[in-house]
Amino acid sequence: MKTTPNSMEARDLAAVFHPATNLKQLRQTGPAYFERGEGIFVYDSTGRDFIEGVAGLWCASLGHGVEEIADAAREAMLDYSFSHLFGGRTHKSAIELAEKLKELAPVPMGKVFFGCSGSDANDTQVKLLRYYNNALGRPKKKKIIARERAYHGVTVASGSLTGLPKFHALFDLPMEGIIRVPAPYPYRDAQAGETDAEYAKRLGDDLEETILREGPETIAGFIAEPVMGVGGVLIPPKGYFERVRAICDKYDIILIDDEVICGFWRTGKCFGAESTGMKPDTITAAKALSSAYAPISAVMVPDRIYDALIEPSGELGSFAHGFTYSGHPVSCAVALKTLELYERWDIAAQVADVGPYFQKKLAGFADHPLVGEARGIGLVGALEFVADKKTKESFGGAGGAAIDRACREEGLILRPLGDTIAFCPPLIITRDEIDELFARFSRALEKAAPALTNG
């Protein structure tokens, strides 16, 4: 790595502690410095453009530089730069955003609790289940079932829900009370000749057996992404969430829907739950809620959960959970404008139009000798790379890393997830831009393939 002493890259290395980064490798390669964004593109200091093929971190759904969102933020800052929601204090944008989210929710919801990120929202979900069951006089009903390969965040609680080992190593996670069950991963785990219905039943049977083994009286919740993102863009078989719902009902278990990646038309519906047959009890939302223009998250809960918290909070003097920036007026205003633009720009119709085109282009790589599976829904998808298509032998992460490097050289930013490459472009992407995205990817794959093929 070569940097001049006062370059932005050198200054970054001297001062910035990067999250989710190989810190050793960073010292060798230096950071990737970008100066601005416009639409689906970001630009480095030389003016070279890169397609944001994964919408930042699955979040910049309306792309960069939307003036109406910037104007909404500026107006909110000038009007009422800060307020909190502690002690019953409130303000207009928090009220209106909560009302709008209740209107959009795929199942009836009673109240909306605001935070800053998907991680803190799922942390809130864990604390709510504990408080709720204590309030109902069920102190043993605290365990939460989460799936292998799940990603729910990185706080102590949400990081424990996450089912990816690297998020646990050296952090002494997961905490106690997290139970793990298999993820729906048809490419790797469905048996030969097994139908979707049979696979869904087998996963459901495993879930029920786990509940019975642990004791239903100890299980408070089951958390799931409608489509698993960081775990590899894994799409559940038909009937899976219907089976999960029936099991949760049978044993009085709260079904938590983590919509942080799937929410707001990513899968073709407003919520991923609507695309996958999921009927949740509570919902976590973040990321595309504000198109990532401002940090904000939301936890939606039904009245039956909220109502159970009222009396205990009276006895204790407070429901003692919340954040300084819960319901921040600027973030709420930005989220409201984002939701308005989704409707005014008819993003639902946009995804319905370009989504099938995107999926067709993605599926066109399925016959490549290094591609084990192409999978996706709406405007999210993945290609899983293998060393051997018959045995499904992986590259141990080397395949994804090599292809990612080649993509950067071709001006394309995607998300390597081991040997799976994820695609999640801004929802505003056009057909011509989809063509350009896959043209750059095709060149990158052609560049990386010889080294992978020859070992």
Same structural domain for residues 252 and 110? yes
Domain boundary residue, one of 289, 313, 344: 344
Q: What pLDDT, on the 0 to 100 scale, is given for residue 5?
A: 79
Instruction: Tell me whether residue 25 is in a domain.
Output: no
Q: What pLDDT, on the 0 to 100 scale, is given for residue 308?
A: 98
- List helix spans (H) across 233-346: 240-250, 272-276, 303-316, 329-344
Instruction: Tell me whether residue 10 is in a domain.
Output: no
103-126 pLDDT, tens digit each: 999 999 999 999 999 999 999 999
CATH number at residue 413: 3.90.1150.10
Cβ density class 281-297: b for 16+ within 10 Å, e for less: bbbbbbbbbbbbbbbbb
Q: Dihedral (C-alpha) 300, 306, 312, 318: value to the nearest 10 degrees?
A: 50
pLDDT below 50 — which residues of the chain?
none
**Which residues face 321 on adjacent strands?**
none
Domain boundary residue, one of 296, 319, 344: 344
Give me the domain span that covers residue 295: 68-344
Considering only CA atoms, which of 418, 390, 405 is closest in space to residue 444? 405
CA-CA distance, 64 to 39, in Å (whole number)?
5
Same structural domain for residues 440 and 407? yes
Considering only CA atoms, which of 62, 59, 58, 36 is closest in space to residue 49? 36
Q: What pLDDT, on the 0 to 100 scale, is given for residue 177?
A: 98
CA 388-391-392 angle, to 5 degrees, is 65
Same structural domain for residues 116 and 88? yes
Same structural domain for residues 79 and 176? yes
Domain boundary residue, one of 318, 344, 370: 344
Instruction: Tell me whether residue 6 is in a domain.
Output: no
Same structural domain for residues 203 and 319? yes
Same structural domain for residues 179 and 151? yes
Distance of CA 160 to the CA centre of its chain: 16
- Number of domains the chain contains: 2
Instruction: Tell me whether residue 391 is in a domain.
Output: yes
306-341 pLDDT, tens digit each: 999 999 999 999 999 999 999 999 999 999 999 999
Same structural domain for residues 306 and 387? no
Helix (H, G, I), strand (E, B) or coil at 193: coil
CA-CA distance, 196 to 7, in Å (whole number)?
54
Instruction: Tell me whether residue 72 is in a domain.
Output: yes
**pTM over cut 0.95:** yes
Same structural domain for residues 260 and 374? no
Same structural domain for residues 267 and 295? yes
Sign for the pseudo-dihedral over CA of 170, 175, 180, 184: negative
Helix H or strand E segment including 356: helix 347-363
Same structural domain for residues 277 and 414? no
The amino acid present at 9, given as its one-letter code, is E
Instruction: Tell me whether residue 227 is in a domain.
Output: yes
Distance of CA 343 to the CA centre of its chain: 22
Same structural domain for residues 135 and 267? yes
Same structural domain for residues 203 and 241? yes
Instruction: Tell me whether residue 52 is in a domain.
Output: yes
CATH number at residue 329: 3.40.640.10
Instruction: Tell me whether residue 126 is in a domain.
Output: yes
